[in-house]
Structure 1
Amino acid sequence: MRRTILFTAVALTGMPGLALAHPHIFAEARLEVVADDKGFVSELRNVWRFDDVFSSSVVMDFDKNGNATLDQDELDEVGQTVRTSLGDYSYYTNLSSDGKPVKVKAPDVIHVNYQDGQLLMFFAVTPEAPMQLKGKLSFGVYDPTLYTSIDFARDEDMATVGDSFKACQRAVVRPDADEVLKQNQANLTQAFFNDPTGTNMSKLFATRLEVTC
């Protein structure tokens, strides 16, 4: 039960300044959006590096042999647990093409490593439907429950890969939380802060990569 709760909470989203939300897990992330030579998004590569406190709690839960670290079989179990738990949340990946949402397929595997007291996860997802580099595309990775805070420290941490992107313009959008609250005061009711997943408003605060082709 504890493991299920633990990884249902795992997601990476940045919402600085949101006074009534209280992230309990913190992570640095990198996202690479890859395009093929035909001008379609082929995959989205994710790297998540978790904070020391959360990483230690994972070691406590999954360290079966008590050697104070995670061996390969234990790392594999962490990855499989996350892969199963986050399926209902689309692996916290939010894609849209001209405003229409695009779902993603489950990753084949989530690779996990434990280095210098921090848990790292690496995985790739692909769009469920063809996603052409045409019009306005948006790519975001965030936790709709607000439980986990993501930090794309640099704009370069939301990257595009592939020659097809040369015909597009890209921008990393970092919403100002105070401005979002001001503009959406009528919609951001107490219900949002009690259950953000029920309103889908948390995406207004999330850092995202926008590509116009």
Structure 2
Amino acid sequence: MVALSMCVSPAAAHPHVWVAAASELIFAADGLITGVRHAWTFDDMFSTYALQGIVTRKKGIYSREELAPLAKTNMESLKEFGFFTFARIDNRKQKFAEPIDYYLEYKDAALVLHFTLPFKTPFRVKQLALEIFDPTYFVDFSLQKKEPIRLVNAPATCTIAVQRPSDGTAVAQKLNEDTFLNGENANYGAMFANKISVDCP
């Protein structure tokens, strides 16, 4: 099974995997924010590579059950990297519980990973800052063009703002692999973070 951290070629330039992300911020009926629900669409090259060796009942069609072992492998891999999801509520860093409701689907010749990250403790939000990025820039995250971020059951007073990063691929490809293995560049990808802010007065 191929995980995000396993398809690196030492001679290749960063990034190695491209993801188009769409996310939902989930609120409970009492107004507390409870978690983040992601849907990540992988590029066709990674999708093709990851699907190698998976046995299916019908060629070219992958069921959720057939993709379940690959989904599990990827979730275990992502845990090491904090699921590339970083949240601060009222300027305090927040921790997530174990992911739930995760699965892979094969759609339009691409793999889509769905999963929910519950907050360890639900919060009443005044200001939420959410960032989606890979610090090592192994994975390039962009937000889907249409409705990339949604608020689900949020109080009517909540507003959302999205800041898309500039494309760092061209710059990164001029750097060699050693640049990213150097501790000084361990957070290179932060320059290209997708930043979401939610205000609930």
TM surpasses 0.5: yes
Q: 2:34, 2:121 within 8 Å by CA — same for their partners in 1?
A: no
**Contact 2:136–2:180 (CA under 8 A) maintained in structure 1:** no
Structure 1 segment 84-99 matched on structure 2, within 5 A: 84-99=76-91
What is the CA-CA distance between 1:199 and the residue it aligns to? 4.3
- How far the C-alpha of 1:97 sits from its partner, in A, is 1.3
Cα separation, partners in 2 of 1:163 and 1:108, compared to 1, 3 Å: closer
Within 5 Å, which residues of 2 pair with 1:146-161? 146-154=137-145, 156-161=147-152
Aligned twin of 1:16: none
Q: Tell me which amino acid in the other structure corresponds to 2:108.
A: D
1:78 corresponds to which of 67, 70, 82: 70
Q: Does residue 40 of structure 2 align to residue 48 of structure 1?
A: yes
Q: Judge conservation of contact 1:9–1:148 (CA < 8 Å) in 2.
A: no
2:145 counterpart letter in structure 1: R
Pairs within 5 Å for 1:91-130: 91-130=83-122
Could you tell me how far 1:210 is from its partner in structure 2?
0.5
Matched residue SS, 2:100: coil
Distance change in 2, residues 1:200/1:97 (3 Å) = farther
Q: 2: CA distance between counterparts of 1:195 and 1:38?
A: 46
Q: Percent identity?
A: 25
| Map 1:179-198 → 2, pairs under 5 A | 193-195=180-182
* Unaligned runs of at least 5 residues, structure 2: 8-12, 172-177
- Residue aligning to 1:210: 197
* Alignment partners' CA distance in 2, 1:62 and 1:143: 27
Instruction: For structure 1, list consecutive stretches of 5 or more residues without a partner in the other structure.
Output: 11-20, 182-190
- How far 1:67 moved relative to its partner? 4.3
Amino acid at match of 2:150: A
CA–CA separation in structure 1 for the residues paired with 2:38 and 2:28: 17
Q: 1:79 to 1:156 in 2, by over 3 A?
A: same
Conserved? CA contact 1:59–1:69, under 8 Å: no
1:162-181 map, 5 Å: 162-164=153-155, 166-176=156-166
- Return the offset for 1:80: 0.9
Counterpart secondary structure, 1:110: strand
Look up the match of 2:51.
59
Deviations 1:19-57, CA, capped at 9 Å, x for gaps: xx7211112110010112322112211111111111100
- Residue 79 of structure 2 aligns to which amino acid in structure 1? G
Select the structure that is richer in strand: 2
CA contact (8 A) 1:82 1:110 kept: no
Letter in 2 for 1:7: L
2:136 maps to a residue whose letter is T
Q: CA separation in 2, counterparts of 1:67 and 1:149?
A: 30
TM-score, length-normalised on structure 2? 0.78
> Following the alignment from structure 2 to structure 1, what is the Cα–Cα distance between the partners of residues 36 and 76?
18
Letter of the 2:88 counterpart: S
Residue of structure 2 equivalent to 1:14: none
